[in-house]
Structure 1
């Protein structure tokens, strides 16, 4: 049935549509054709929403698209539950009210350059793409559970709903790409459980929801790459549980959520690299806890201002490649505890500063406890403003720089196969002492084992001697003197050459003293002539008897010299035996 009471422009649109032509209502003057001024366009460019609905119902099974350029549509366009076998295209147009496509089926939807009060395409089925390039929406866009056979292109657009959600596409399905590059969204963008077989592009987008959620893409599934280079976000950006078959890249992104979480990527799964680098900056904590990344994790030259305490939380991450934090600048704690990294963890030229709620040189600023990695590089641009926690971490190679050692270290249980540049053993012993006042034997034994593997046995013995000296400080006051004797005598068995020196010195002393002051014979029996050297040896060596010690007795005050040599001999014999036993046990 032919509609009646149509205006001239509506008659033209009807005729063009039925004949398969596009209706162009623009006048060619950008100052006049701007859709932002569409509310002032006259009747020559105005279409009634109910006319468009009746026209669509009249067309029925037609397949030619409805294409209009530069129109003003008055009233809410309600096309819900309709099944269109053609495309709808209203480019550079102005809709006074919301467009309702709830549960509507159509071939393609083009709203290029159009200004509208909102779009409801919940559960809509679009065989091709949905295009909102350069669109301006002053209400909500709803695409929950929509099925789009092509791409969703909301690019260089402006979405404005500051008090609520600007775009919601929960559980939306797209065969092509989901593109929002260059778009500004005032209000939250929600992509929870959405799925696309192509690329998700948030490049140069500006998402603003200060104090709220700028982007909620939890459990988003991406068939290719998720690209957010140059993204600007005010509010939380969430990718928790998201999966991408390719990259997750936020190069040069600027995220702002002061005092809170700027990036939440808890248990995200990335098929290639996770890249927050090359100008990436976050005001607020970055959390990638439990992420699984097949390639590399990159925070090279990133700037993390933290939430006042923590800057980066990468606990329990599993990385097939490397975790690179070269040139990282962070204010707050960086955590890679219990992480599993296939290659190296690299903090070369990084600067780790304390957060505003953490005192300088206070608790650990870098927490790597239970880390597993092939190599760990700790060559900072400057010493961190806090300690490094390495307890129970295991790495193949430790590559560090004494000039940038932190003020504190927690090393108990830290295992490493070798040190890239061991440096002097004195410096390494000082490195171990940064554990604090507590005594932990494990770090000394680990360092000694590494020295032995690298063929530096002398350095290993010096480390183990330092361990005994550190242990002595933990003993009771009554037990310390015996330790001092062992240290002075034979270096706890790690300096056995000292015993020979002491024996030689005492032997020379005894020989001189008793050579000048001969002891007297102990009995009337005839004895061998007195020999001061052999007599001194008899006194010093308790298990050897040359006969001189029994045949002669020192008299007067020289008896005390004999007693001293005998006592010294026993002490040296005991310490030597203890040292030999320790060496055997060590072997």
Structure 2
């Protein structure tokens, strides 16, 4: 027994047990005999010509009989038609062969490794409900692979494989169990890839894979369970990527992936409802989706990053929809993140940063309705889009800290008109830090916006109320105005003295008391009973009581609001 000069298997001195070919199997060709004789020893049989161009599986039509094996021969060996040599690990190990016919291993117990590398498998590989050891199809071109409910007790290698599917399936691996890795790096699949309910013990590696099924569900990982990592980086998917309910114990990597041609699938490029990962979710480094990325109810145990991602919505749908999502460590919409459509973060819970630094300009609105974040890192209001919805948003801090007046630019971008909660919460945030003046600035802006949305008369009253007492948040302003009006009235009535009503009575005229009698509500010094103004002075005397009542009410209202506000803190 020896290796041939071409690196293949030389069977000239083979003396293996059980050499007889079963009666039901047709006579073997020379190429098949080489495989048959190598099997008991687990030796690799090469059928390569040495010419890289000719050995490309895409050129298998030019391969002759010396490189052609019937699928029935491979199935017979895999299912135990020959016994192994004692002390050796038997196996079907082929490089560079053309396999004709369907490899039917359904429901079989495959006790040997199955390796068909750089081969051309012209028909379907059937492994439905089979139990197998490791399977390696690296570099091969094949028809459909059907392995629903199969159990691979080692690894399944589909690296650099090209699968030409039918109208319904190309890779049908629903409910498959792979004890270690499913490695499909640089896989090219002309048709859908289905891994619904799959259980992968360690890593599902789909880096640089290409799946073409435009307008339909191209990749389906619904309910899949992955023991360590999901690696889906730098892939190109034409069609929809679905992974609802999928669970990944470690990291989920989608960096650099591009999802296109999903418009017919309800405009959703990536459907990840209730997707769960124990580590980071990375949709960064040029990740692109033409259609909505929906992560409703998803849960990320680490960070969720969309750094440098580009999301394009279809129609009126949101570009990123993350309702009810939970992120343990931080959500990053940073460093060139661009969304052509709404970023909808309704009810999200973020344990660390909501990081918006470096978002691309001219992006769609962002909705944070009833969202919560430990810290919002934004670099200032100019980072935010022109339209925001912050109603119900709660946070512990802004990074960087800016004075209240500089944060008003963000609140003014509120979509849909006046909302009270964003102002109240921001004011409470500043008050909790001991910055009462900043809190007042926010609350004054709140009242200004609220009254701006009212009727004309309400707007006029609001403008006056805001000017005089800062909508009740600056009562000392009314006190100051009152003092100035009182001093002006004293000066005026000093120059333009009123006439004594009863000249025969001896009453001393005091301009200060006369002005106070007119302007200060309730207080009475008797001056207006003894003296009377005429002409323009009478008009002034008539108007002062009304101003006095207006300022008195404003001062009382402002003081009451200040007292009621004294014990308030940050909302829960």
Above 0.5 in TM-score? yes
Secondary structure in structure 2 of the residue aligned to 1:396 = strand
Secondary structure in structure 1 of the residue aligned to 2:334 = coil
Matched, 1:585 2:552: no
Secondary structure in structure 2 of the residue aligned to 1:304 = strand
- The answer to which structure has the higher strand fraction is 1
- Cα 1:115–1:397 shift into 2, 3 Å: same
**Mapping of residues 152-551 of structure 1, within 5 Å:** 152-161=156-165, 163-259=167-263, 260-309=267-316, 310-327=318-335, 328-351=337-360, 353=362, 365-379=365-379, 387-399=387-399, 420-422=401-403, 425=405, 428-429=407-408, 431-435=410-414, 438-473=417-452, 486=465, 489-493=468-472, 494-510=474-490, 512-514=492-494, 517=497, 519-520=499-500, 522=502, 527=506, 529-550=508-529
Question: How many angstroms does 1:516 deviate by?
Answer: 5.5
- Cα 1:461–1:184 shift into 2, 3 Å: closer
- Cα 1:524–1:350 shift into 2, 3 Å: same
TM-score, scaled relative to structure 2: 0.81
Paired residue for 2:15?
none
Q: What's the CA shift string for 1:468-500, capped at 9, x where partnerless? A: 444555666667776666555545542434444
Distance across 2 between alignment mates of 1:556 and 1:516: 9
Paired residue for 2:114?
109
Secondary structure in structure 1 of the residue aligned to 2:357 = coil
Question: How many angstroms does 1:101 deviate by?
Answer: 0.7
Deviates more, 1:337-346 or 1:570-579: 570-579
Distance across 2 between alignment mates of 1:457 and 1:342: 27
Distance across 2 between alignment mates of 1:380 and 1:501: 36
Paired residue for 1:416?
none
CA contact (8 A) 1:87 1:106 kept: no
Question: How many angstroms does 1:180 deviate by?
Answer: 0.4
TM-score, scaled relative to structure 1: 0.80
Secondary structure in structure 2 of the residue aligned to 1:452 = helix
CA contact (8 A) 1:349 1:380 kept: no
CA contact (8 A) 1:353 1:365 kept: no
**Mapping of residues 116-135 of structure 1, within 5 Å:** 116=121, 117-126=123-132, 128-135=133-140
CA contact (8 A) 2:387 2:414 kept: no
- Cα 1:8–1:267 shift into 2, 3 Å: closer
- Cα 1:514–1:16 shift into 2, 3 Å: closer
- Cα 1:377–1:568 shift into 2, 3 Å: same
Paired residue for 1:404?
none
User: Structure 2: which 5+ runs fail to align?
Assistant: 1-17, 567-572
Question: How many angstroms does 1:463 deviate by?
Answer: 4.3
Distance across 1 between alignment mates of 2:542 and 2:79: 123
CA contact (8 A) 2:187 2:208 kept: yes
Question: How many angstroms does 1:40 deviate by?
Answer: 5.7
CA contact (8 A) 2:79 2:109 kept: no
Distance across 2 between alignment mates of 1:299 and 1:432: 25
Distance across 2 between alignment mates of 1:581 and 1:382: 36
Q: CA RMSD in A?
A: 3.6
Q: What's the CA shift string for 1:329-365, capped at 9, x where partnerless? A: 22111111111111111121112646xxxxxxxxx72
The aligned length equals: 534
Secondary structure in structure 2 of the residue aligned to 1:215 = strand
CA contact (8 A) 1:221 1:242 kept: yes
CA contact (8 A) 1:515 1:532 kept: no
Distance across 2 between alignment mates of 1:51 and 1:490: 94
Q: What's the CA shift string for 1:216-243, capped at 9, x where partnerless? A: 1111111111112221111112222111
- Cα 1:208–1:197 shift into 2, 3 Å: same
Q: What's the CA shift string for 1:526-570, capped at 9, x where partnerless? A: x454333334334433444445444x2226545555444444444
